[in-house]
């Protein structure tokens, strides 16, 4: 009896019924409530407490080209989660699957709901999509509408009544710093302001998860830093952010954890510090002298030392020993600068993907 019940639950779940629908169906068929609840718990994987979403065994191919295969990871509620990978690695495809804009060939994405339950992006796309805001690489707003008109339009699409849409638009404009531009046509905004509008459109329905695909592409350094601060401001208010970017310094600065996508799979996840500890345990030591004579240092430090751009560079796992040698060998007053640093996230990334 127990095996039959579990089999029926799995079957109805695969058919696209939600957890509540399965419970109702089985109870109406006469199955004992206690037994139904126990086996529904086994058959339906819930998002773990503290997670905003779980990605499970997601795969996607386009013809003979396998873009994603066996992708698994969790995103914690309230974090800024980074996704990095080579161009063409499948980052945008994965983000589209997360928000339900693209169906996976296998696997599923479970998103936490406000009532503590979870929704399957694959089986309950309408329900799950409301939990996401998605700012893509291409703008989603209308050029001929003003900032306010765009936001009110998208708010109405999400079912907000006219007055509620107006209030929500005002609140979002304040959040992203577009209050003074409310009556400006979108096409006349600067690049940075247009990106803020696109993010505002993604936030208009108050999603719990904001997904950003290359949000600072084509922005100058000042606009990029301003947008970094906006992401922090949004995150501080409780919104979970998933960020894909090829600016690795941006990912390292903003993200609490980073996933590396390579060869169709997530090959590792961790903080920037964790990833460096695994893949780049050594330190980089940079020494510059006034005399530019490094011959004694090169002999003392051995084959791992080299000259680059007028300074001595040493990659070492024993920085204290190297500094001790430098202090003994260099003549007093000849040291222009000594700097010690860990490898950048970019260097870690290159090592992971084998470049």
Report the CATH number at residue 164. 3.40.50.300
- Shared-domain flag, residues 250 and 338: no
Q: Are residues 197 and 113 in the same domain?
A: yes
Say yes or no: 18 and 124 in one domain. no
CA–CA distances in Å: residue 83 to residues 70, 187, 214, 270, 305 = 16, 30, 10, 11, 34
Q: Are residues 187 and 313 in the same domain?
A: no
Confidence of residue 31 (pLDDT cuts 50, 70, 90): confident
* CA nearest neighbour of 209 among 338, 318, 80, 300: 80
Domain final residue pick, 242, 258, 276 = 276
Closest CA to 133 of 106, 159, 100: 100
In the chain, count of helices (H) and strands (E)?
14, 14
- Both 184 and 78 in one domain: the answer is yes
Say yes or no: 79 and 194 in one domain: yes
Domain that residue 339 falls in: 280-352
Confirm whether pTM is higher than 0.85: no
pLDDT digits (tens, 9 = 90+) for 204-221: 999 999 999 999 988 888
Cα–Cα dist 276/347, whole Å: 9
| pLDDT tens profile 114-163 | 888 899 999 999 999 999 999 999 989 999 999 999 999 999 999 999 99
- In whole angstroms, give the CA distance from residue 140 to residue 150: 10
Q: What is the CATH number of the domain that holds 284?
A: 3.30.70
Order of strands, sheet of 283-289, starting from the edge strand that comes earlier in the sequence: 305-308, 311-316, 283-289, 335-341
- Helix, strand, or coil (residue 28): helix
Burial class of residue 311, CB neighbours in 10 A (0-12, 13-18, 19+): middle
> What is the count of structural domains for the chain?
3
């Amino acid at each position: 009896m127990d095996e039959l019940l579990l089999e029926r639950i799995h079957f109805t779940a695969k058919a696209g019924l939600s957890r509540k629908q399965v419970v109702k169906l089985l109870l109406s068929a006469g199955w004992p409530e206690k037994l139904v609840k126990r086996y529904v718990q086994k058959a339906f994987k819930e998002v773990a407490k503290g997670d905003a979403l779980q990605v499970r065994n997601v795969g996607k191919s386009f013809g003979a080209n396998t873009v994603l295969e066996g992708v698994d990871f969790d995103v914690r509620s309230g974090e800024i989660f980074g996704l990095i990978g080579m161009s063409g690695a499948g980052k945008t495809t994965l983000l589209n699957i997360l928000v339900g804009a693209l169906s996976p060939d296998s696997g599923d994405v479970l998103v936490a709901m406000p009532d503590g339950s979870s929704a399957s992006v694959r089986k309950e796309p309408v329900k799950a999509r409301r939990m996401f805001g998605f700012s893509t690489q291409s703008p989603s707003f209308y050029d001929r509408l003003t900032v306010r008109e765009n936001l009110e339009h998208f708010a109405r699409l999400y079912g907000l009544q006219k007055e509620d849409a107006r209030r929500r638009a005002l609140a979002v404009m304040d959040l992203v710093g577009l209050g003074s531009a409310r009556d400006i046509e979108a096409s006349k905004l600067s690049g940075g302001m247009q990106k803020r509008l696109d993010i505002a459109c993604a936030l208009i329905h108050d999603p719990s998860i904001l997904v950003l695909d290359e949000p600072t592409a084509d922005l100058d350094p000042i606009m990029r830093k301003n947008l970094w601060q906006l992401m922090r401001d949004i995150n501080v208010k409780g919104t979970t952010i998933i960020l894909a970017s090829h600016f690795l310094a941006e990912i390292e600065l903003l993200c609490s954890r980073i996933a590396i996508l390579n060869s169709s799979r997530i090959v590792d996840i961790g903080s920037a510090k964790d990833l460096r500890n695994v893949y780049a345990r050594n330190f980089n030591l940079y020494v510059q002298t006034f005399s530019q004579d490094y011959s004694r240092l090169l002999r003392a430090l051995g084959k791992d030392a080299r000259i680059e751009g007028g300074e001595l560079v040493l990659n070492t796992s024993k920085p204290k020993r190297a500094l001790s040698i430098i202090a003994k060998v260099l003549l007093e007053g000849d040291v222009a600068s000594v700097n010690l640093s860990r490898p950048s996230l970019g260097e870690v990334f290159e090592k992971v993907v084998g470049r």
